[in-house]
Chains A and B, each alone.
Chain A
Amino acid sequence: MNIPKLIYGSRLNFKESVHNFFATIAGLSIISLEFFRQVFLPPYEIAEIRKHMNELGIKTFPIVSITGLIIGLVLAMQSQPVFVRFGASDFLPGTVALSVVRELGPVITALIFAGRVSSGIGAELGSMRVTEQIDAMEVSAVNPFRYLIVTRVIATTMILPVLTIYVIFLAVFGGYIAVIITENMSFAYYKNAVISSIQYGDLIPGIAKTFIFGFIVGIVGSYKGFTAEGGTEGVGKASTTSVVIASLLILLVDVVLVKLTLLVWPTT
């Protein structure tokens, strides 16, 4: 595995920045390819994967819970006056649910997840790199890529969809809270309105893309951490740049996926 090196320095000129841009793309591609090459080879390190999934779940549970509730709450509060003005209050539950399922739930959960987890992986692997722990693993004849990266990327890829589904439920519920503050609507009515407005064509692409977002979060953090250099400062950089790159990539990939979904699953 030959990962191109970045140029470090506080003030990079244009050429160096362009170099770093392409080196980062190349590095991410190499790490991703290596992931797919190694993921099916034993040993599978199931215990490590389970440990990471647990940790990720516990670490992100509080923040995504609050986020989920608030997305739904705010969305419904903002939309409600408009819907009332046009006499379309009946469409409110469906609209909230659709926005949350198709777009807001997956993307906002992914961004929060990136902020919390990419940085964590970047810092963790970065400090293992600069204190030679990764080298120590290698001389114990353990493949650090498989033990450290493959396990983490699998964990982030698996756990983000679960978190997203949870966020969607909370957001829809948050929407209900906003509605009943000003209006009289039974939960059964709200629930039915939500369920009847959501189709598989909304749900499946919405959840499917979170696997990709989870993969991005894991890969970016791993790439930055694994290639960290330059002592504690390098660790800090690995951690912060992970978040920036992961968030940008999530948004970019989202645009592409939304376009793709609309082509494959046209909404009537």
Chain B
Amino acid sequence: MADNLITIENLSKGFNGKMILNNLNMSVFRGENLVVFGKSGSGKSVLLKCIIGLMKPDSGKIYVGDRELQKMNSDELNTFRKRTGFLFQGAALYDSMSVRENLAFPLIRNTEMNKQERDKKIINTLDLVSLGEAIDKMPSELSGGMRKRIGLARAIITDPEIMFYDEPTTGLDPITSKEISELIIALQHRLHMTSIVVTHDLICAKIISDRSIFLKDGDIIYNGILADLAGSDDPFLKNFFSDEPIKSGD
């Protein structure tokens, strides 16, 4: 068996009687970049939030290493979360703080760095997302794509072992999008990071994906390498990845 970092068994989660995730099983292997595809509303963000413990599953088990997430006490859960970074779909920057303070927040809380070390780290991380000049701006002064990249910078600034990216390149132009994808690869190599990446962006997925899964009707309908997924004969998947107009009977 491969080296499982995260194992999910029979995970179900619904809202107001509608099942979003239905008996889902999957694993994330140490050091891989796992890309998660699925139509809008298929539960990709919900899946990420269940794994990090922001949402409680209705049933099923999630293991981090061999520890069960639901059985962790708050200290253990925090220890796990300190090892992770999470890029929210909407960036979730702290409105009341400048970019610098946003990036300093996890450093102050979760590392022993002094102010100088922090400042250096903040500047370096902003350079990674090419936003050095935004350091003293407030989130309200940033464009959507800039917010996304600042959110990314805040998520990776503590050099986490496990990264959750919820649509890292959505709203970015193709060039920046490629740069961010290269950054994800670089982080994987430099820090041996394990990443779960939710994306609709095929170019990004091509660059980063070691393995891909496809979420539909609350379950995983494909698990394998991207090339096979994109070239699949399944009419639904074919439609998803083709750039032709939608054929009837989806």
Contact = CB atoms under 8 A, between A and B. Distances in A.
A104 to B, nearest CB: 35
A173 B109 CA distance: 48
Interface in A130-180: 131-133, 135-142
B52 A139 contact: yes
Interface in B115-170: none
Interface in A115-141: 124, 127-128, 131-133, 135-141
B106 interface: yes
B59 interface: no
Interface residues of A, number: 14
| Chain B interface, >50% SS class | mixed
Contact of B92 (A131, A141, A142): A131
Given A132-B88, A135-B54, A135-B88, A140 B94 contact: no
Contacts of B106: 140
Interface residues of B, number: 20
Contacts of B70: none
B232 interface: no
Contacts of A138: 54, 81
Contact of A140 (B49, B81, B90, B96): B81
Contacts of A131: 90, 92, 95
A141 B105 CA distance: 11
A224 to B, nearest CB: 18
Contact of B86 (A128, A136, A142): A136
B94 A136 contact: yes
Contact of B109 (A128, A132, A133, A141): A141
Interface string B93-111: 1111000000001100110
A140 B81 CA distance: 6
B82 A132 contact: no
Contact of A136 (B84, B88, B96): B88
Interface in A59-94: none
Nearest to A138: B54
Contact of A133 (B81, B82, B95): B95
B54 A133 contact: no
A141 B88 contact: no
Residue of A124, A141, A142 with most partner-chain B CB within 10 A: A141
B81 A139 contact: yes
A160 B169 CA distance: 47
Given A135-B49, A135-B54, A140 B92 contact: no
Contacts of A140: 81, 105-106, 109-110
A139 B109 CA distance: 12
6 contacts: A131-B90, A133-B92, A133-B94, A133-B95, A135-B54, A139-B81
**Across the A-B interface, the 7 shortest Cβ-Cβ residue pairs:** A141-B78, A136-B92, A132-B92, A141-B81, A139-B86, A140-B106, A141-B82
Given A135-B54, A139-B84, 4 more contacts: A140-B105, A140-B106, A140-B109, A142-B105
Interface of A: 124, 127-128, 131-133, 135-142
